[in-house]
Chains A and B, each alone.
Chain A
Amino acid sequence: MAETVVEMRHITKKFGEFKANDDISLSLHKGEILALLGENGAGKSTLMGMLSGLLETTSGEILINGKEVKMKNPREAKDYGIGMVHQHFMLIPAFTVLENIILGDEPIKKGVRIDYTGAAKRIKELSERYQLDIDIHAKVRDISVGMQQRVEIMKALYREANIFIFDEPTAALTPQEIKQLMKIFGALAKEGKSIIFITHKLKEIKQAADRCVVIRSGKVIDTVNVADTREEAMAEMMVGRKLRNSVEKQAVDQSKLVLDVSHLNVEKKGQARVKNLSLQVHSGEIVGIAGIDGNGQSELIEAITGMQKIKSGTVQIKDKDYTNKAVRKITEAGVGYIPEDRQTVGLQLPLTLAENLSLKNYYQQPANKYGVLNYQYINEHGQKLIKDYDIRSRNELEPVGSLSGGNQQKVVVAREIASDPDLLIAANPTRGVDVGAIEYIHEMINNERNSGKAVLLVSFELDEILKLSDRIVVMHEGEIVGEIDPKDTSSQELGLMMAGKKVQPNVQEAAQ
C-alpha cells in the first residue's frame, strides 16, 4: 500500500454546544484522489478548514507524513505542503495571471526587483507538466472561470503543495471544463500529488475519485471504494434515505399562452446583453433556459420582471402588455420570481423570517391597514409558511440571515409559490443548496407545473434543466441558439450548444 500522507484521527470540532465534526477519522495516500461527500452543513468544510489551518480542532489529532502537527493559520498549512482551492476564487481581477500566482511569495532578485522572468519560466514548466494550459499574461478579469480555477491550482503548485484540497470545484464550470479538470486531477495524482475534493455531485466522484468518505451530520457514515459502489448507494448514505431523481409530470393543459416575449433587446452599461430575443411560455409547461453564466440570462429575466429597462421589444403576460412596467405591477399581474441571488436580492437578511415572507404582500390588506402594519397577521402568516414549507428555524422572528443557505432559499420559494402566481420565474433556484433541499425545491416547482402554471427556469446546472424542463432553449451571447427536447438530448450535446456551437441534433444522428 502507498504511504499515508494525511491522517486525521478522531477529530471533533465544536462551535459552542454544536458538534460540527464528531469523532471523524480519515486517511489520504500518496497519489490518491479522495472524495468527501455530504450535504450542505454536514461538516465537510469544517473538516477541511482544520486541515488547511483555518480552524483549530477541539480534540483529535492530525498527522502529516506520519508526524503530528498543530496548524494555527493557513500559512503554516502551506508550509506542510497543503494547498487549498476555494469555491470562491481568491484572485485579484485587475492583476495578470502571473502576478496573481506569485502574489505573497514574490521571487526577489538583487534584494528589490521581482524576478518575473524566472517565475514565468517556472510556471511554464509546471503548466506543461500538469496540462494546466494557462495564459500567464492575461488579466484575471478577462479569463474564463475554468481558467481562473487552473490559476488557483497553479498557485498551490507554485508553492510546492503535495496535498490539494478542492472545495466544490465544479460548481461554476461547464461540462467541458469539468472534463478538463478531471484530467488535471489525473495528472496531479500520477505525479504523486494527493487530492481531497469536497462535492455533492456523484457523477464526478464516480469519474475521478479512488475512495469516497461519506459524511452526514458531522459523522463519517462510511468510507467506500468508488469502483465497487453504485451512485445511488452513495447518495442514500449521504442523505440517510431513498432519493428520487426524477419528477412526475402529469398531463396538463398546455394551450394557454402565459408569457410572450417578442424581439426583446436589453442593454446594460451600453452593451447589448439580450439581442432580438423571442420566447413563449405556456400554462402547464416548464421552459428551461440553459446557458453558461453571463450570456444574458439574468438580463432577460430582469427585463421580464421589471428590474431592468427594456430597450426595444415587448413583454406580454396573459395577453396584456407589461413592457417596462413597475416591478410591483408585474408582481400583481401574477408573476412569482425566485431571483438568482437570494442574499442581495431575494431577501433582506437582517429582517425577520416573517417580514421576509411578507416582503411582497406587506402593503396589502390584511397585512397593512391605513398605513399601519398588522404584525400579528404578518407573524402568523410567517408561522404558517414556515410549517407548510418545512423551513428549519427557531421561530418566525429569527433574522433570515442566520438560516442556512438551503433554508434561506426555501423562504424565497415559499413566498413566491404561496402568492399563487400564474407565471413562476426561477433563476438558479438550487444554487448552493444541499441535495435534500434540491429535491424538495424541484418538487415544488414541478407541482406548480402540474397545477397548470407556466414556469420559466434558468439554470447553469444541466442536470436540473434536463430533469425539470418540458422544453429547453439554449442561450449564448444574448441569443437563443437552439431549442431542444430534453427527452432526446445528452448533457454533452447541450454543453456544446452552450459554448455557442449550433448543433443540429438530427444531422449528428445521421453522421453516426
Chain B
Amino acid sequence: MKFKVKSSWVVPLVAIIAGFVVGAIIMLIFGYDPIQNYGSLLSGAFGGVYSIGETMRNMTPLILTALGFSVASKAGFFNIGGSGQYLMGWFGSVIVALHFSNLPGWLLIIISILAGALLGGLWSGIAGVLRAYFGTSEVITTIMLNYISLYFVNFAVKDWLAGKGADSSPNIPAKASLRGNFLENLTANSTLHWGFLVAVLVCFVVWFYFNRMKSGFELRSVGLNEQASKYAGMNVKQTIIAAMLISGLLAGLGGALDGLGNFQNISVSNSLPQVGYDGMAVALLVNYSPIGIIFSALLFSALQIGGMSISVFSDTPTEIVSIVTAAIIFFVAIKYVIELLISKYNKKQKSKKMTIKQEGSGE
C-alpha cells in the first residue's frame, strides 16, 4: 500500500468509530443489544422524510453555535458563552417579532433575526472588550455572562412578555415564522424551517471570511501569534473585539433562527440551553473547519434525534447516546495519540517501501 494517511479527516473518523465502539461495549456489558439499538438510532434519524426533516432542523442551531465557537477559537479565545449568546439571540428575535407585529412579514423576519444576532454579538462583545483592554480571561467572563443572560431572560419573559401566571411569551405572529408549507409538505409535517438553509449558507460565508478576507486573515494571524501580528502592524485589540463580536453574532443568529423557526416563543427556563455547549463539541470534532461543521452537526444532530428512538424500541435508556457523544469528544481530545499512531503507520509504510526497494535493487 502506497497511500499516506492524512490526519485532518482521519482523526474525526477514528474518533467517531471509537465512540460507537465504546457505546457498543457498554451496551453489551449491561445486556443491551447494540446492533438493534444502533439500528433504531439510524432509522430514528434518517428513516423517512419526517426524521430527516427533524434531524436537519436540529442541525441549525448546532451549526451556528459551532461556527461562533470556531471564530473565537481561531482568534485564540475560548468562548464558552455560546449558550448565553444563543439565549440572548433567541430572546431578541422573539421580543422584536412580538413588538413590531404590524410590519410586513419579510421586514419583520429580517429585523427580528438581526436583533437576535446583534444581541448575541453584544453579549460576547462585552467579554471581548474586557479581554482586549483589561486582559480579563474570556473563559470566566463568558461563563458569568451565561448566567446573567439566563436570569435576565427569565426576568424579562416573566415581567414583560408572559401573561399573569404564565411562564411563556405568546407565540410570534405567523408571518414572522420561518416555517413554510413547502418544507412541511416536503418532510411530512416535520418542524424543518428555512433557517436551516441560512445556517448552511453561513458556513460558506465563514469559510470565505477565514480564507479570503482581510479581516479573517488578521483574525487567524492574531490567533496564531499576537507578537507577530503586532509587528505586522495589525490592530490586535480591535481584532480581538471583532472576533468575539462575530463569535457571539453567530451564536445569537442560531438563537434567533431557532426562536423564529423552531420554538415560535420563549419560555422561562431553569437551565442554560445545552446547544451552546454541544456547538463546542461539533466544532472541536472537525478542528473548527467551517465546512466540516456541516457534517459534524449532522452527526451530532442524528445522535440526538435518532437517540430518542432507542428507548422507544427497547428498554435501553436514551442516555447511551450521551455516552457515545462524550466518547467521541474524548477521542478527539486525545487526537495527539491518534496522530501519533498515524505517523507511526506512515513511517512503517515508508520503511517497508524502502526495504522492498533495497531488496529489489539486490545487494
Contact = CB atoms under 8 A, between A and B. Distances in A.
A360 B228 contact: no
B230 A307 contact: yes
A13 to B, nearest CB: 14
A350 B350 CA distance: 25
Contacts of B220: 351
Contact of A372 (B214, B224, B228, B234): B214
A261 interface: no
A371 interface: yes
A347 B215 contact: no
A328 B224 contact: no
A327 interface: yes
A362 B212 contact: no
Given A371-B213, A371-B215, A344 B233 contact: no
Contacts, number: 57
A408 to B, nearest CB: 12
A344 B232 CA distance: 12
B155 interface: no
Interface in A358-392: 359-360, 362-363, 368, 371-373, 375
A344 B227 contact: yes
Contact of B214 (A339, A350, A362): A362
A360 B230 CA distance: 11
Contacts of A328: 233-235
B210 to A, nearest CB: 11
Contact of B221 (A337, A344, A345, A351): A351
A346 B231 contact: yes
- Give the residue among B230, B235, B350 with the most A Cβ atoms within 10 A: B230
B221 A348 contact: yes
A323 B230 CA distance: 17
Interface residues of B, number: 19
Contact of A327 (B215, B224, B233): B233
A351 B213 contact: no
Nearest to A305: B231
Contacts of B212: 372-373, 375
Interface in B233-270: 233-235
A163 B232 CA distance: 46
B214 A373 contact: yes
Interface of B is mostly: helix
Interface string A1-30: 000000000000000100000000000000
A372 B213 contact: yes
A187 B212 CA distance: 62
B352 to A, nearest CB: 13
A372 B229 CA distance: 19
Nearest to B350: A16
Given A328-B233, A331-B233, A360-B232, A345 B214 contact: no
Nearest to A360: B232
Interface string B204-231: 0000000011110100110011011111
Contacts of B221: 348, 351, 359
A339 B231 contact: yes
A184 to B, nearest CB: 37
Contacts of B232: 327, 359-360
Given A351-B221, A372-B213, 15 more contacts: A307-B230, A327-B230, A328-B235, A345-B227, A345-B228, A346-B231, A347-B228, A350-B224, A351-B220, A359-B232, A360-B232, A360-B233, A368-B214, A371-B215, A373-B212
A-B pairs, top 6 by smallest CB distance, nearest first, are A328-B233, A359-B232, A327-B233, A368-B214, A345-B231, A371-B214
Interface of A: 16, 307, 326-328, 331, 337, 339, 344-351, 355, 359-360, 362-363, 368, 371-373, 375
15 contacts: A16-B350, A307-B231, A326-B233, A327-B230, A327-B231, A327-B233, A328-B235, A344-B227, A344-B228, A351-B221, A359-B228, A360-B233, A363-B233, A372-B212, A375-B212
